[in-house]
Amino acid sequence: MICTQIFAVKLSKGLDIVAVINTKIFLGILFVFVVSIYGLIFKILKVDLLRLKKHSGTYWRDMEQLKRPRIFKQY
């Protein structure tokens, strides 16, 4: 009975260490996954974070001239 309790304590400590390591690995992978998803979404939506600055007193940006006469506004 004492051997079983000692074995259980040793096993519990070992499993705690494995759980901590697995948690750090899981959170690292999750962080990389979330950052890459944001990068892909910004790439698909063509969002350039370096261009999102206030321009000439307004947040609106004019689009390049098109061949057809239309007026467009872009955030």
Domain hosting residue 44, numbered range: 2-74
Say what the pLDDT of residue 24 is.
Answer: 95
Q: Residue 61's beta-bridge partner residues?
A: 74
For 73, residues 6+ apart whose C-beta sits below 8 A from its C-beta are: 60, 61, 62, 63
Q: Which residues of the chain have a pLDDT value below 70?
A: 48, 50-75
pTM for this one? 0.49
What is the distance between the alpha carbons of residues 50 and 47, in angstroms, rounded to a whole number?
Answer: 9
What φ, ψ does residue 10 adopt, rounded to 5°?
-65, -45
Question: Which letter, b or e, does each residue of 65-74 get, where b requires 16 or more Cβ atoms within 10 Å of its Cβ?
Answer: eeeeeeeeee
Q: Residue 58's beta-bridge partner residues?
A: 55
The structure tokens 């974070």 sit at 49
Give the number of domains in the chain.
1
Say what the pLDDT of residue 28 is.
Answer: 94
